Chains A and B, each alone.
Chain A
């Protein structure tokens, strides 16, 4: 699924990485605990989270994730925007909750991590 499709499904607002909206992604991971993101080492491409701090971006970078979607209209600060821009990460936000965001993407074919690993 193209990242632009995620944006469309969620009615999300693109904050950074406009140039990478055409990238294809196959799996996503949703949580507020970066410890969990780091411990699940499979090919996650998209991070859905309600946590907003620079470690969200650094964690995504460490895991080779290409897209971060903030739920409940959370807004990243300037430092986070600069960090995401510098690294070509697509950052978006949506007004939906984490649960609903996951549900919408999952039911449209974007699966979870372990299902891709199998």
Chain B
């Protein structure tokens, strides 16, 4: 519908300190809208993993969350290096994160599988050298 609610965020890629801020804000907004805790948690986890990925792998990007009648849609778009082999990236444990990221508590190769697990549908389109776009939906 045309009256759907959209939240849009610029996710900064140069500063890890702020990584995750957009997801915290979305969680607050969804709480205010009165969604149940399970739905909110699934959206939160899926978006947070994707947001952190944009920061550590892609130098930031845009996050857009739309509240539609039957689902909440999360779109994450970046102009990062892209993902050469999406099937491989989806495997639990596969990660190209450097040690500096591991020491920050991330880089176990569990984010993408976790995004899939917490969403009802997930689509990745990516081109090497151009960027990555991920669309996830969580049914309400």
Q: Which residues of the other chain, B, contact A8 by a CB distance below 8 angstroms?
A: none
Partner of B108 from A35, A41, A58, A64 at Cβ < 8 Å: A35
| Contact call A41/B104, Cβ cutoff below 8 A | no
B27 contacts partner chain A, Cβ-Cβ < 8 Å: yes
B9 contacts partner chain A, Cβ-Cβ < 8 Å: no
Q: Nearest chain-B residue to A87 (Cβ)?
A: B24
| Contact call A38/B110, Cβ cutoff below 8 A | yes
| Contact call B41/A41, Cβ cutoff below 8 A | yes
User: Provided the pairs A38-B48, A62-B45 are in contact, do residues A54 and B20 lie with their beta carbons within 8 angstroms?
Assistant: yes
Number of residues of chain B lying within 8 A (CB) of chain A? 28
Q: Nearest chain-B residue to A51 (Cβ)?
A: B105
A53 contacts partner chain B, Cβ-Cβ < 8 Å: yes
| Contact call B52/A36, Cβ cutoff below 8 A | no
User: Provided the pairs A58-B23, A59-B20 are in contact, do residues A33 and B48 lie with their beta carbons within 8 angstroms?
Assistant: no
| Contact call B48/A58, Cβ cutoff below 8 A | yes
User: Which residues of B in the span 22-67 have a Cβ within 8 Å of any Cβ on A?
Assistant: 23-24, 27, 37, 41, 44-45, 48-49, 52
Cα distance A62–B48 in the bound complex, in angstroms: 8
Cα distance A106–B77 in the bound complex, in angstroms: 43
Q: Which residues of the other chain, B, contact A58 by a CB distance below 8 angstroms?
A: 19-21, 23-24, 48
Partner of A55 from B20, B45, B111, B114 at Cβ < 8 Å: B20
Q: How far is the CB of B3 from chain A (nearest CB, A)?
A: 28
| Contact call B107/A35, Cβ cutoff below 8 A | yes
Partner of A35 from B19, B24, B41, B106 at Cβ < 8 Å: B106
| Contact call A34/B105, Cβ cutoff below 8 A | yes
A61 contacts partner chain B, Cβ-Cβ < 8 Å: yes
Q: Which residues of the other chain, B, contact A61 by a CB distance below 8 angstroms?
A: 24, 27, 44
Q: How far is the CB of B109 from chain A (nearest CB, A)?
A: 8
User: Provided the pairs A58-B20, A58-B23, A62-B44 are in contact, do residues A41 and B110 lie with their beta carbons within 8 angstroms?
Assistant: no
Q: With contacts A54-B20, A59-B105 known, what are 7 further pairs, Cβ within 8 A?
A: A35-B107, A35-B109, A35-B110, A39-B108, A54-B19, A55-B16, A62-B48
Residues on B lying within 8 angstroms of A by beta carbon are 16-21, 23-24, 27, 37, 41, 44-45, 48-49, 52, 104-111, 113-114, 117-118
Residues on A lying within 8 angstroms of B by beta carbon are 32-36, 38-39, 41, 51, 53-56, 58-59, 61-64, 79
